[in-house]
Amino acid sequence: MGLNECIRNHSARVAVIGQGYVGLPLAVEFAKAGFFVTGIDLDDNKVSALNRGESYIPDVESQTVRRLLQDGRYQATSKMDVLAESDAIIICVPTPLRKTKDPDISFVYSSAAEVKARLREGQVIILESTTYPGTTKELLLPMFEERGLQVGKDFFLAFSPERIDPGNQQFQVRDIPKVVGGVTPECSRIAALLYGQVVTKVTEVSSPTVAELAKLYENTFRSVNIAMANEFAMMCRYLDVNVWEVIEAAATKPFGFMPFSPGPGIGGHCIPIDPIYLSWKLRLSGYEARFIALADEVNRSMPRYVVELLIDALNTRGKCLNGSRVLVLGVAYKRGVSDMRESPALDVINELQRKGADVRYADPFVPSLEHEGLTTPRVDATMETVRTADAVVVVTDHKEFDYPMVVQTADLVIDARNATRGLSAPDGRLIRL
């Protein structure tokens, strides 16, 4: 039976390397569609949890994993040997930045090396990990061709950028259109056929590089516009104008405007990192992406700006930051998730601790916090912890927090997310970004 037919009748065996925020929901979606799916992850704790039917990803319910395990449609493993018997292999591993801000694609490389060692005729391999343009053709293709197989005939290779938005219940795997770029037209067709079994719309583009750039453009667009909103917030403060009122007024225009919100910085795996991958690749060609660099500079300055707002507010009350007890509300990078990757809260807390503040944090999704060798105590956001703090800083606007109580109880609130919209406090105790 050929690969096309196996995909169409859902008898193809699918392996998803990486069982994190991207890989696990994707693996579950293929399993729900009737495919036999193996989720591969090197973290034995994750593998054990999944095989017990326990999900650690908010977007995937444990009962769904348990049902798929019972039906024999899903299993998790840390062993790569399963790749040899897989018809479709999808790579969903992290692509972080090194401390030098150079791309770290070591996880992609090691995963590709495992695939290469087991590559056979009739397999389709798709990279989903966000990376610099050219990775699929310049890194993966030469590796696989060393096996003596011909791409587009013996095996199929494509790139399809992940577009998962953790915590977004409106847009999940099936609802988000996929972009697919194959090394050859037949590679694109096979990859599109595979994704077409689990998503509502698939768009084929002319090459993997186009697909890689599409993802980078999506998040560079967001990074640049968030940076503009952040700088606009700073300008409005100099002009003594409420930036949130300005944004709401501008958003009444029904065309030519898309509202972006300022905040304490940018976080997650995509927005802080993807544009840097693009600018790094361009720098190798002698082109300096100035817009990206400026946006990154503005966005990374926001945690310090939040701390400066707090220092100024404490000073007007005759207090200094050194020795003050500060309660940080929310440390995940966005509301409703536990993901700490690139969270601006980490920089806010580091800056507060560096300046001598006694910091506590509250976050219903993050049970403990250790960063750069320092452990920050966790508390619940109760009336007592709010009342005894010299200041409360809202960094992540989880809906679980009781903002009316916080505003009425706290001595000082710095709201970096406009979570207290519509609320007021006497004596200027509430300061929004």
Beta strand 74-77 with 123-127 is: unpaired
Helical ranges in 146-289 per DSSP H: 185-195, 208-238, 243-250, 274-284
Residues of 129-160 as b/e, b for ≥16 C-beta within 10 angstroms?
Answer: bbbbbebbbebbbeebbeeeeebbebbbbbbb
**Spatial contact of 389 and 410, defined as CB atoms under 8 Å apart:** yes
Cα-only R_g, the chain? 24
Cα distances (angstroms) measured from residue 172 to each of 40, 105, 235, 273: 21, 26, 36, 22
Torsion, Cα 40 45 48 54, to 10 degrees, reads -100
The residues, ordered by sequence, that sit 6+ positions from 8 with a Cβ below 8 Å of its Cβ are 193, 197
Cα 276 to Cα 71, 133, 280, distances in angstroms:
43, 12, 6
What DSSP character marks residue 138? Answer: I
Contact call for residues 306 and 264 (beta carbons, < 8 A):
yes
DSSP 97: B
CB atoms within 10 A of CB 419: 22
Cα distance between residue 345 and residue 333, in whole Å: 7
Query: Which of 64, 65, 54, 10 lies closest to 36 in space, CA to CA?
Result: 10
Strands 178-182 and 155-159: antiparallel
Choice among 92, 187, 236, 270 that is catalytic: 270
Give the residue among 412, 408, 410, 416 at the shortest CA–CA distance from 432.
416
Q: Identify whether 270 is a catalytic site residue.
A: yes
Q: b or e along 170-203 (b: 16 or more beta carbons within 10 Å of the residue's beta carbon)?
A: eebbeeeebbbbbbbeebbbbbbbbbebbbeebe
Among candidate residues 432, 431, 389, the one with its CA nearest the CA of residue 410: 389
Active site residues: 270
